């Protein structure tokens, strides 16, 4: 692409990217870092502000010709809690939980709707998300765009430091990257893992993610006391994730709902098998039996793992198909070009 973003008068336009999180190891931070890095690499003048991590003034919001906001509900909450005004047009992107859960809750729906109606454009990651959004808020269809997530790993210096996550060299390493929230349901498949442990004594289960809800953290710690083969690591730098995927045997996702999991896409990209709960976001990137597995209950999860472990040719084919699919359908360049095209449309209107 390699071109500057232009405003209505033909001069170079700047973009302010507003994300709830940028420094804490959360999914929104991963999304923000990927998009901002991609924009800057393509010569789009971009500044970033984490509105839930730092103070944001009206002057900052007015400093750029266009705003790109991440997360419907968190931004609506932030606007409600802060006396901030701005007149700049903005594009707003779903954070995942907002379109799957928040828009259906009475305490959030109205204020989210107010923000969405004001937005110049709305983006979601999948057709499933668009259908959900438009079922709640009528009349938004024409300004809702589907822009798929892509995969991005920051450059690393292999000579500096080492991995903070230790996975056994021998055995069956099952990894679940997810922040500890009820919606992620990280212990859902534990009964199946206990059963699998009988047949695969070297099995380990590793959860990686920020401790976002105390009750879920307590449950995970209790599980670790009962089952020493369960490991939990808090925030891990994105720079480490590619190595973690490569040292794992499979990546799983147990979320009750999902926007579009960066972790699953990243694992598929590097050629690791994925097993994910059957929800709209996961269906948008996984074709069951072709690029990964989807499950509805604990028994189906057990069957998926068993099939991967006993059918080598199937496992190899799934990993190859998944990597090919992600590289072709979720490229960073295509994602960035889609956003820049949308920015130019908004600035030209």
Distances (CA, A) of 114 to 73, 77, 98: 11, 11, 14
Task: Find out whether 103 and 136 touch, Cβ atoms under 8 Å.
Answer: yes
Nearest one of 236, 243, 173, 241 to 202, comparing CA atoms: 173
Q: Which DSSP symbol is given to 187?
A: T
Domains contained in the chain, number:
2
Residues 194 and 316 grouped into a single domain: yes
Residues 219 and 298 grouped into a single domain: yes
Residues 217 and 253 grouped into a single domain: yes
Residues 215 and 127 grouped into a single domain: no
Give me the pLDDT at residue 161, please.
47
* Cα-only R_g, the chain: 21
Nearest one of 308, 285, 235 to 125, comparing CA atoms: 285
Give me the pLDDT at residue 233, please.
94
Residues 342 and 272 grouped into a single domain: no
Alpha helices in 62-160 (DSSP H): 72-81, 97-100, 106-118, 127-136
SS3 244: helix
Residues 176 and 323 grouped into a single domain: yes
Question: Considering the domain boundaries, does residue 190 fall inside one?
Answer: yes
Give me the pLDDT at residue 158, please.
54
Question: Considering the domain boundaries, does residue 100 fall inside one?
Answer: yes
CATH number at residue 70: 3.40.50.2000
| Model confidence pLDDT, tens digit, residues 142-195 | 999 999 999 998 876 554 445 688 888 788 999 999 999 999 999 999 999 999
- Edge-first strand order for the sheet with 90-93 is 46-50, 15-19, 66-70, 90-93, 121-124, 144-146
Residues 310 and 340 grouped into a single domain: no
Residues 106 and 144 grouped into a single domain: yes
Nearest one of 296, 294, 244 to 272, comparing CA atoms: 244
Give me the pLDDT at residue 1, please.
44
Residues 180 and 320 grouped into a single domain: yes
Question: Considering the domain boundaries, does residue 1 fall inside one?
Answer: no
Give me the pLDDT at residue 258, please.
86
Low-confidence ranges of the chain (pLDDT < 70): 1-12, 156-163
Question: Considering the domain boundaries, does residue 155 fall inside one?
Answer: no
Residues 290 and 305 grouped into a single domain: yes
Question: Considering the domain boundaries, does residue 309 fall inside one?
Answer: yes
> The domain containing residue 48 runs over which residues?
15-150+331-348
Question: Considering the domain boundaries, does residue 243 fall inside one?
Answer: yes
Q: How far apart are CA 183 and CA 123, in angstroms?
A: 22
Q: Tell me the Ramachandran region of residue 317: left when phi exceeds 0, alpha when psi lies from -120 to 50, beta otherwise.
A: alpha
Q: How many CB atoms lie within 10 A of CB 70?
A: 27
Question: Considering the domain boundaries, does residue 137 fall inside one?
Answer: yes
The model's pTM is 0.85
Residues 219 and 110 grouped into a single domain: no
Residues 176 and 310 grouped into a single domain: yes
Residues with Cβ within 8 Å of 50's Cβ and at least 6 positions away in sequence, in order, are 19, 20, 21, 22, 23, 29, 32
Strand partners for 294: 276
């Amino acid at each position: 692409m390699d071109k500057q973003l232009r405003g209505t008068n033909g001069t170079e336009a700047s973009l302010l990217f507003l994300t709830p999180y940028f420094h804490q190891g959360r999914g929104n931070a991963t999304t923000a870092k990927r998009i901002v890095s991609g924009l800057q690499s393509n010569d789009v003048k971009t500044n970033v502000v984490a509105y839930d991590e730092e103070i944001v003034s009206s002057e900052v919001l007015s400093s750029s010709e266009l705003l790109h906001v991440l997360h419907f509900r968190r931004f609506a909450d932030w606007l409600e809690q802060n006396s901030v005004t701005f007149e700049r047009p903005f594009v707003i992107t779903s954070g995942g939980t907002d379109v799957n859960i928040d828009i259906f809750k009475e305490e959030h729906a109205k204020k989210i709707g107010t923000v969405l109606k004001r937005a110049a454009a709305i983006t979601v990651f999948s057709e499933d998300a668009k259908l959900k959004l438009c079922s709640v808020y009528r009349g938004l269809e024409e300004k809702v765009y589907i822009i798929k997530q892509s995969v991005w790993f920051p450059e690393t210096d292999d000579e500096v430091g080492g991995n903070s996550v230790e996975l056994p060299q021998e055995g069956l390493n099952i990894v679940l990257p997810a922040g500890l929230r009820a919606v992620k349901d990280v212990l859902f498949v534990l009964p199946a893992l206990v059963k699998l442990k009988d047949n695969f004594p070297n099995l380990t289960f590793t959860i990686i993610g920020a401790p976002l809800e105390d009750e879920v953290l307590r449950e995970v710690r209790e599980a670790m006391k009962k089952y020493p083969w369960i490991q939990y690591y808090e925030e891990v730098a994105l720079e480490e994730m590619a190595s973690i995927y490569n040292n794992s045997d499979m990546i799983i996702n147990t979320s009750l709902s999902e926007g579009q999991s960066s972790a699953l896409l990243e694992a598929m990209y590097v050629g690791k098998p994925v097993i994910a709960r059957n929800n709209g976001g996961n269906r948008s990137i996984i074709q069951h039996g072709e690029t990964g597995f989807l499950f509805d209950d604990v028994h189906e999860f057990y069957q998926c793992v068993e099939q991967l472990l006993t059918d080598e040719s199937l496992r190899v084919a799934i990993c190859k198909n998944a990597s090919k699919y992600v590289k072709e359908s979720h490229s960073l360049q295509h994602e960035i070009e889609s956003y820049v095209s949308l920015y130019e449309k908004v600035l030209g209107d």
